[in-house]
Amino acid sequence: MPKYHFEIVDGFTLEDPVGLDCRNDVQAKTVAKDIARQIAEDLGGKDDRRVVVRDDDGAEVYETAIRNQQRPS
């Protein structure tokens, strides 16, 4: 399985040196969205905070913003 690294970027980059095995880019994107959603719930979302997914060669595969989600009342 390919390994993907999920970096948190917020004015600086918090690198993911270990990474996570995912079946493919699609699964890695899903994981990134889950990470972004959890960070937004725990810490709040900001326009400049995001999750960047890199493959094991360091190429960027996907990027998603960390934003607060409005919940229906």
* Helices and strands (H and E) in the chain: how many: 1, 5
Provide the 3-class DSSP secondary structure of residue 12: coil
Percent of the chain with pLDDT over 90: 73
Mean of the pLDDT values across residues 37-57? 87
Mean of the pLDDT values across residues 22-48? 89
Quick one: DSSP state of residue 31?
A: H
The average confidence (pLDDT) of the chain is 89
Q: What is the rounded CA–CA span in Å between residue 46 and residue 22?
A: 27
Give 5's contacts (C-beta < 8 A, 6+ positions apart): 15, 16, 17, 18, 19, 20, 53, 54, 55, 56
Residue-wise pLDDT for 9-28, tens only, equals: 988 999 999 999 999 999 99
